[in-house]
Structure 1
Amino acid sequence: MYINNIKSPQDVKRLTTDQLCVLADEIRQALLAKLSVHGGHVGPNLGMVEATIALHYVFDSPHDKIVYDVSHQSYAHKILTGRAEAFLNPDDYDVVSGYTNHKESEHDFFTVGHTSTSVSLACGLAKARDLEGGQNNVIAVIGDGSLSGGEAFEGLSNAAEAGTNMIIVVNDNEMSIAENHGGLYQNLQLLRESGGQAACNYFRALGLDYIYVEKGNDLPTLITAFKQVKDSTHPIVVHIHTQKGKGFAPAERDKERFHWSMPFDLMTGAPKVVDNEEDYGELTGEFLIDQMNKDPKVVAITSGTPAVFGFSPERRKKAGRQFVDVGIAEEHAVALASGIAAGGGRPVYGVYSTFIQRTYDQLSQDLCINNNPAVICVFAASVWGMNDVTHLGIFDIPLIGNVPNMVYLAPTCKEEYFAMLQWAMQQTAHPVAIRVPGNGVISSSVPVETDYGTLDRYKVTQQGDTVAIIALGSFFALGENVARRLQMVAGITPTLINPRYITGLDNDLLDKLKTTHRAVITLEDGILDGGFGEKIARYYGNSDMRVLNYGLKKEFVDRYNASELLLANRLTDKQITEDIIKSLQ
């Protein structure tokens, strides 16, 4: 097998065209073998096998620098750059990340995982090269809907003005994560249908040269095209038409389902594990469809990830014009929601915590300064969320929780979450974000409030003395465990508090605690720096109250085990109880 002998791109260059075609088949089979048991991005990688081989056959990495957008389609690139064992040997499946990583290989120039960045990053590499008088090629690979992001436009515009060597490979598989959205993709369709000859050409309008490759999964055609643009003295777009999921029939048929997948059966594509547990995404989608049926002003918004809040193709069809997918354009989604709210609509934007990071300016300027009552549901905002270093969901509390006018809520259970969501959609006084619980769907028989309009009122769920535990959102269950252990080990019945509001302090309650409590413990499912607990500590700063803040250290962690990370941050009930007892001595 050729794949076993590929240790670097130099080995690729020694193969004939026929041998390269065999190598493509071997890579595709290796990808399917791993993905079917390990999970990962299926469709994007299957569709990029030939293009990746052709890039490494024609160009000279790492002298020529290839930058992958999102880099979730870089598996074949890793196989060709000395990391094949991570795809051939099950014992090594977790040795490499699912994205390019500059710590893994000299062929990876950036650790990236968010969209629309490759052209901008490549512009930087090209500028550095030009300043040094270098002659290498710089190649940006972008696709899977990433062109809809604003930064992609900014990079393309800058590349055209720079005017020196840069090759932009547009991987057009006619899809984003789900279907593409936005007028830009109508132009890509026109270019495909005209064989790249249409007078209306987005890329040429920006001042970029352009060639079109219809057979984007044909190695000889790709090699010819890349040889044509190699060592170009000006920026040029190579628009390749590829098939997402190529070579695996289930992925070719159901492109959205196989954008990313858990382990699946190689014969049928069926998931190997069926999770029948309740899921907040599905529950939210069901809830919003019901609200849409009752109120035509309700609008669900997504930025390219409709599954985040349960909007399957069927639900999208039911919602009709009350569902908006803006494409991968989170900044626009927040501003759109603000505008809809200002016009009397009831927008709900569902987004992963890691992607809300892209919208700080819109949260502040477009939404909160104007105090428009849009609703944002923040998913996977937890230590139990996504664990790749590029997709962490542990930074949103400092980000969202410190913007004036924002009301950021932290429900502890299913009933409280939907009560908060219902209230947020009906009220008109504030922009509201809700941190969807990340520790699974937990139901409670305890009645929950339905009106959260009197802000910053914490809820005492157990009255005690000496120690008060303020346990936020997903960590409320941890607070309950600490309270039980403290009673069992030290005979102390602590006061247990569900704060509910991330963005404000219940001054009256905090003052009352001073009379019968010696210590206040805060628990939050995110980084401590700039977070919720620090507000409590600052409030008690000039008093005798001892405050212990528990949360995560500010750091970039990669592919972590949640239990191990919690232990390392002293976030187990046993460790916290030990610390409390010690602090009281």
Structure 2
Amino acid sequence: MEALTGPAAVREFPAGDLPGLAERIREFLVAKVCRTGGHLGANLGVVELTIALHRVFDSPRDALVFDTGHQSYVHKILTGRAGEFAGLRQAGGIAGYPSRAESGHDWVENSHASTALSYADGIAKAVQLTTGPDEPARRVVAVIGDGAMTGGLAWEGLNNLGGAPDRPVIVVLNDNGRSYDPTIGGLARHLSGLRSADGHRAYFEELGFAYVGPVDGHDVAELEEALREAAAMWRPVVVHAVTAKGHGYRHAEADDADRMHACGVIDPVTGQPDAPGRPSWTHVFADEIAEVGADVPGVVCLTAAMLQPVGLKKFATRYPERVFDVGIAEQHAVCSAAGLAMGGLHPVVCVYATFLNRAFDQVLMDVALHGLGVTFVLDRAGVTGPDGPSHHGMWDTSMLAMVPGLRMAAPRDPARLRELLREAVGESSAPTVIRFPKATAGADLPAVARMDGIDILHRGGRLPLDVLLVATGVTAEAAVEAASQLSTEGIGVTVVDPRWILPVHPTVVHLADRHQLVVTAEDGVVSGGAGSAIAQACMAAGVRTPVHNLGLPAQFLAHGERPDILRQCGLDAHGIATTISRLVLASPAGEIVPSGRIA
């Protein structure tokens, strides 16, 4: 792979050597991704396609834009980054998605789906306006999967591209019949008709595109011919390439569930994890929502092309008529959920926290404005780790804090997840949210007492200094450990878990008034988050106790291991204890007014 120093080297390969090159790239991908984890199946499916793209087009002068970007590993190899794959998705190493900081060959860092066609539209307009009459022509190529084509933004881009015959954008439709799960809806049926060559006229032609295909997405020669034909037309063109996700790796090919779309560290020979891990938060939710389905017949579930990743497979197996996969269309999922609620059901919308960003308007105006009982289950909330800045689910609390009537819960342990989910689906007049991280679910952390629905996890004791530490969700374990450490320094810390973190419960404000210092901890953006809401509530109530908020900075955090990122942000036990100790020591004498404690 080291010989692949850039696209020019790829173009110099004799045509007869390309099948062997593709095989070596697949072997390289399996060896490296099995060691680090990452998106394996998606990249195995586009090896020949990416080779053909770099042989026909001149990157980066010609712009290659990969939708979603999880299939860009082959692109990285062909643009000279094979030697960096030992650090794939690890702190300081190369990203699992395109990265403008890594290479000029990466035009966009798009790791949310359905964006490439709009990017391509804008880039093509810029090329048209900035390329001089004597300069060589430049082309714009957008690679988008059939799954990503189920998103509404893709159709907005397609509509604009097809309506501009003077901007020759080439849309490469990578048709493998899947996004994460199998592609659904009318588009899937249409593409199936095109693949079967039964006389279908491509819908794309009605929108203003020329149509080339379908072509074998695992035949470099056929792909090159199709791409050169498209490039010669100088008009908007769709090249329909049919590929197989996971192609060439038997464990991925045999994986009917997702063709090994993404994997953790696995044995490349067996395709299995080196050692089974503890149940994840997603598994806990999966078991409980299936039980909720039995107890609450009005509960229905929605997913945006991620039935298995968000834990709905068991529910769907038991109640197939009560689960709806709407494709990569979060806006539609939420608005459709509003309609289901209007019809007398209780929808549970299950998405990654980062993807709910795309449907904020629907949460606000289509659910909350109508006072509808819709529950949002946000998987991968907080720091996710190796997937990097686009996938950290760290924006949801700050974003949703402004939604009138919305209630958000952050369970600290599996027992609370089950408990809070039951409470959420019992709410019929306002939206509710349950958020949990991408992590293993540890042991339950019992409360020593409950006060008005607020769990007291640790009492400060009769020490001279008395601090209230409000821990949201999975920060609770670190908070309790920090409180134990601080007791040896003569600092008494009472740790409480509000369970429902938004809106602020009046009891939290009452407790704040009875302490000398309040510190909040959350695994979301600190600006406008749950801690900020507590500080505002205390101010509104005239509580003079100082409030200090701990959380994630309002920055795009790089990829790395989740515990390391939390530690760097001061959200581990040591970081929380250090912050509290510093705040206490820095307080001028007499500034903190002694106050009562929990009896």
TM-score by length of 1: 0.92
Q: Deviations over 1:399-456 (max 9, x none)?
A: 112211211112222222211111211231211111125663431444998xx9x9xx
Per the alignment, residue 494 of structure 1 pairs with 493
Indicate the SS of the match to 1:383.
Answer: coil
Q: Quick check: 1:324 aligned with 2:324? A: yes
Q: Deviations over 1:494-515 (max 9, x none)?
A: 332222233222345524543x
Q: Deviations over 1:318-359 (max 9, x none)?
A: 321111111111111111211111111121111111111111
Indicate the SS of the match to 1:324.
Answer: strand
Per the alignment, residue 233 of structure 1 pairs with 234
Per the alignment, residue 291 of structure 1 pairs with 292
User: Given residue 175 of structure 2, which amino acid in structure 1 is its aligned partner?
Assistant: D
Gaps of 5+ in 2: 589-599
1:525 to 523, 526, 533: 523
Per the alignment, residue 367 of structure 1 pairs with 367
Per the alignment, residue 250 of structure 1 pairs with 251
Q: Distance in 2 between matches of 1:504 and 1:339?
A: 25
Q: Distance in 2 between matches of 1:448 and 1:403?
A: 31
Per the alignment, residue 593 of structure 2 pairs with none
Indicate the SS of the match to 1:212.
Answer: strand
Q: Distance in 1 between matches of 2:505 and 2:272?
A: 50
> Which one is further off, 536-545 or 429-438?
536-545
Indicate the SS of the match to 1:517.
Answer: coil
Indicate the SS of the match to 1:391.
Answer: coil
Q: Distance in 1 between matches of 2:568 and 2:88?
A: 25
Indicate the SS of the match to 2:363.
Answer: helix
Per the alignment, residue 429 of structure 2 pairs with 429
> Which one is further off, 93-102 or 419-428?
93-102
Seen in structure 2, the aligned counterparts of structure 1 residues 415 and 8 have a Cα distance that, compared at 3 Å, is same
> Which one is further off, 418-427 or 70-79?
418-427
The residue correspondences of 1:338-417 to structure 2 (distance < 5 A) are 338-383=338-383, 387-417=387-417
Q: Distance in 2 between matches of 1:193 and 1:271?
A: 38
Seen in structure 2, the aligned counterparts of structure 1 residues 574 and 424 have a Cα distance that, compared at 3 Å, is closer
Seen in structure 2, the aligned counterparts of structure 1 residues 322 and 385 have a Cα distance that, compared at 3 Å, is farther
Is residue 137–residue 231 contact of structure 1 (8 Å, CA) maintained in 2? no
Seen in structure 2, the aligned counterparts of structure 1 residues 278 and 22 have a Cα distance that, compared at 3 Å, is closer
Deviation at 1:315, TM superposition (A): 5.0
Per the alignment, residue 222 of structure 1 pairs with 223
Per the alignment, residue 485 of structure 1 pairs with 485
User: Given residue 264 of structure 2, which amino acid in structure 1 is its aligned partner?
Assistant: M
Deviation at 1:183, TM superposition (A): 1.5
Q: Quick check: 1:182 aligned with 2:177? A: no
Deviation at 1:524, TM superposition (A): 1.1
2:273 to 271, 274, 294: 271
Deviation at 1:136, TM superposition (A): 0.7
The residue correspondences of 1:65-80 to structure 2 (distance < 5 A) are 65-80=63-78
Is residue 448–residue 456 contact of structure 2 (8 Å, CA) maintained in 1? no
Q: Quick check: 1:337 aligned with 2:337? A: yes
> Which one is further off, 458-467 or 7-16?
458-467
Q: Deviations over 1:352-410 (max 9, x none)?
A: 11111111111111111111101111111123556512211111110112211211112
The residue correspondences of 1:295-314 to structure 2 (distance < 5 A) are 295-312=296-313
Q: Distance in 1 between matches of 2:16 and 2:6?
A: 19
Seen in structure 2, the aligned counterparts of structure 1 residues 512 and 180 have a Cα distance that, compared at 3 Å, is closer
Q: Distance in 2 between matches of 1:5 and 1:308?
A: 37
Per the alignment, residue 568 of structure 2 pairs with 568
Seen in structure 2, the aligned counterparts of structure 1 residues 315 and 499 have a Cα distance that, compared at 3 Å, is closer
User: Given residue 196 of structure 2, which amino acid in structure 1 is its aligned partner?
Assistant: E
Seen in structure 2, the aligned counterparts of structure 1 residues 461 and 243 have a Cα distance that, compared at 3 Å, is closer
Q: Distance in 1 between matches of 2:382 and 2:251?
A: 32
Is residue 458–residue 483 contact of structure 2 (8 Å, CA) maintained in 1? no
Q: Distance in 2 between matches of 1:74 and 1:581?
A: 49
Q: Distance in 1 between matches of 2:58 and 2:40?
A: 27
Per the alignment, residue 154 of structure 2 pairs with 152
1:19 to 10, 17, 20: 17
Seen in structure 2, the aligned counterparts of structure 1 residues 544 and 289 have a Cα distance that, compared at 3 Å, is closer
User: Given residue 190 of structure 1, which amino acid in structure 2 is its aligned partner?
Assistant: G
Per the alignment, residue 166 of structure 1 pairs with 169
Q: Deviations over 1:245-285 (max 9, x none)?
A: 1111121121505011123233332222321x122222222
Q: What is the RMSD computed on CA atoms of the aligned residues?
A: 2.3
User: Given residue 468 of structure 1, which amino acid in structure 2 is its aligned partner?
Assistant: L
User: Given residue 20 of structure 1, which amino acid in structure 2 is its aligned partner?
Assistant: L
Is residue 171–residue 237 contact of structure 2 (8 Å, CA) maintained in 1? yes
User: Given residue 324 of structure 2, which amino acid in structure 1 is its aligned partner?
Assistant: V
Q: Distance in 2 between matches of 1:91 and 1:475?
A: 28
Per the alignment, residue 596 of structure 2 pairs with none
Seen in structure 2, the aligned counterparts of structure 1 residues 37 and 566 have a Cα distance that, compared at 3 Å, is closer
Seen in structure 2, the aligned counterparts of structure 1 residues 26 and 415 have a Cα distance that, compared at 3 Å, is same
Q: Deviations over 1:54-82 (max 9, x none)?
A: 11111111111100001111111111111
User: Given residue 579 of structure 2, which amino acid in structure 1 is its aligned partner?
Assistant: I
2:140 to 131, 138, 141: 138
Seen in structure 2, the aligned counterparts of structure 1 residues 531 and 366 have a Cα distance that, compared at 3 Å, is same
Indicate the SS of the match to 1:162.
Answer: coil
> Which one is further off, 132-141 or 385-394?
385-394
1:84 to 79, 82, 90: 82
Indicate the SS of the match to 2:119.
Answer: helix
Deviation at 1:291, TM superposition (A): 2.7
